[in-house]
Amino acid sequence: MFFTLIIVASTVGASETHAGDAHVADKHSHKACTTPVHLSEEAEMKPGGALYEGPLPKEASAKDSMHMSHGGNIPKPALDTAAMPAMAGAHNIHKGMHGGDFFMAQNKLHHLEALYSDDCGFQLFLYNAFTEPIRVHRFQAVLVVLSMEKGEGMKAVRFLAPSVDGGYLHAPLMLQAGASGTLYDAELYVNFPKAVEAVQFDLILNVGVE
């Protein structure tokens, strides 16, 4: 199976409160999928990168993730920089580079940014502990799109694949919008490197809603 175990990263309420709890991934311009991602060996050598070989935070084995609140704030994690000097200065930037929906993993090593647009489909960018772009080939992800209308069920399932340059994971996706726009619930499942459990992130895909 693609994921051995699904861990729910946040708890959402009933349908009338769901939109306030989940992240909203808005439509974005075509620039989002044509702007190259600046990848560097320096970023890969820092915590969260493929070349980092130092000690890991104890949270690296935690079965959860930390999310931005609906107001756009992420609690700043407490870091033991004496035990992990490589983490000094980490988590000072909690904002993505593409205007997307931003998450911090509970392992304190990775950040994620999710975007949806008709032109680009669904994209997922990965960052190290310093919110610097890293290559995505070590990650696996699947997106499940659901209707917000009761009883309509699943709309789409997409397994994300690396872009040619390894700068992001992506999958083609075009959702139908009504006359005044449409919101879709979405569940993003991510397998982090060396993890045996997938983590669920809750999204709302915004299709034509201003």
Secondary structure (3-state) at 21: helix
What is the rounded distance in angstroms from the CA atom of residue 193 to the CA atom of residue 196?
9
Taking the whole predicted model, whether its pTM rises above 0.85 is answered as no
DSSP string, 105-137: ETTSS-EEEEEEETTTEEEEEEE-TTS-B---T
pLDDT at 90: 57
Domains and CATH numbers, the chain: 6-52+93-207 (2.60.40)
pLDDT along the chain (210 residues), means of 10: 40 31 53 76 94 77 45 46 58 76 88 91 94 96 88 88 95 80 90 89 82
Structure confidence at residue 142 (pLDDT): 98
**Which residue is it, tokens 């044509």?**
34
